[in-house]
Amino acid sequence: MLGQPAKSHTVTCPHCGEDVEQKPGAGRLRLYCDPEAGRQWRQRMRALGFPV
């Protein structure tokens, strides 16, 4: 739905399970506690055969 704030809820890092703080305003939704965690998680998923 257009106009719905995607950052209104807390995101949990799939890499380590910690809460990820969201910066208000424009920009991408942060999914990981840091970019390196996201990269490692994606590598692991690729190794398991997921198209991420």
Q: What dihedral angle (degrees, nearest 10) is formed by the CA atoms of 42, 44, 47, 50?
A: -50
The site for Zn ion (CB under 5 A) is made up of 13, 15-16, 33, 37
Shortest Cβ 16–Zn ion spacing (Å): 3
Residue 7 vs 30, nearer CB to Zn ion:
30
Shortest Cβ 36–Zn ion spacing (Å): 9
Q: What dihedral angle (degrees, nearest 10) is formed by the CA atoms of 32, 48, 43, 9?
A: -10
Residue 11 vs 13, nearer CB to Zn ion:
13
